[in-house]
Structure 1
C-alpha cells in the first residue's frame, strides 16, 4: 500500500537543500513504507512532486492507460514520451536521514526552491512549492494556505524581537 500524504508545512531549506521532515510527511513514512523518496518536476504546476519508490508502478499504470486512450483517439505519441521522460527521467532520489530530507540541487532549480519550501500533501504524493509561487496559484484556497503559512512564520520570527 502506498503512503497517503495529507497536511501542509512551511520549512526552511539550507544551502545544501536540507530540510527538516515535515510532521505530516514523517507520519506517512511509517516503517512499512519505502525508505526511498523520489522527487520530480510537477507536470502541470510550478512545483515539485514527491512520492515513495513504491508509487512508481502506479505512475507507470496511469501513463499506460492514458497512452492507450490517446492512441484510441488517434493522437500522436509525442505527448506520451514527454510525460514518461518527465515522470521517470527527470526525477531524483531525495536523500533522507532520521530528521531531514535533502532536495537535490537539480530539483531545487527546476522547482525554484530557495530558502523556504511549502510541503503539501496530495494523497498518494506530496508537492514542494516555493511559497512565493504558491501565492500566484490559480487555486484561491491554496493561495490562502500559502499566505497563512508565511504569515505564521513571520509572527514566529518576530516574537522575540523588541
Structure 2
C-alpha cells in the first residue's frame, strides 16, 4: 500500500451497521484492488482496527518476526498464539459498496459501536471508535479531537449512503 490512512471523521451508523466511507478513508483505499476491508478488535484499545486486505501479509510477517525474537529470548509460544488469534481470528471483512460499507455485527459488538463511529487514521491502518469511549482515552489530544468532532457534527453531513 502506498497511501497512508490520515485524518478523522465522525459518521452515523444505522441499525444494520451501514456507514458512509469517510473521505480520508476513501482516498487511502482508492489504489486497493479488493473491494473488501478487514476490520478487527484492536489488541490494545477499546476500538476496532481496519486495513486493506493486502495488509494481512504484513501483519503475518510482523508476527513471525516477533515470534522468532520471543523464541530467541526463551519465551513461551502462548503469547504468539494469543496474538495470532486476536489478529486473524477476531476479524471480519467489510465490503465497500459505492460510497458506503457495513461494519459486521460481531465487530460492532466487540468495538461497542452504536449509532456513531469515529474513524481515525493511524498510518498503515485506521481505527473505528465509539466516540463515548474515545472521550475516555488517556490521550488528551485524542479526547480533544473526539470532543471537537462531536461538538461540530451538525455542521457537516455524515449520513449513511
TM-score, normalization: structure 2? Answer: 0.93
C-alpha distance in structure 2 between counterparts of 1:3 and 1:39, whole Å = 18
Q: Which residue of 2 aligns with 1:44?
A: 44
The 4+ residue runs of structure 1 with deviation greater than 6 A are none
Q: 1:34 Cα deviation (Å)?
A: 3.2
Contact 2:36 2:94 in 1 (8 A): yes
What are the ranges of 5 or more consecutive residues in structure 1 without an aligned counterpart?
158-162
Contact 1:33 1:52 in 2 (8 A): no
Q: 1:35 Cα deviation (Å)?
A: 2.3
**Relative contact order, higher structure (CA 8 A, sep 6+):** 2
Contact 1:2 1:55 in 2 (8 A): no
Which has the greater radius of gyration? 1
Alignment of 1:80 onto 2:74: no
Aligned length: 157
What are the ranges of 5 or more consecutive residues in structure 2 without an aligned counterpart?
none
Contact 1:12 1:115 in 2 (8 A): yes
TM-score, normalization: structure 1? Answer: 0.92
C-alpha distance in structure 2 between counterparts of 1:156 and 1:25, whole Å = 17
C-alpha distance in structure 2 between counterparts of 1:156 and 1:120, whole Å = 17
Contact 2:6 2:123 in 1 (8 A): yes
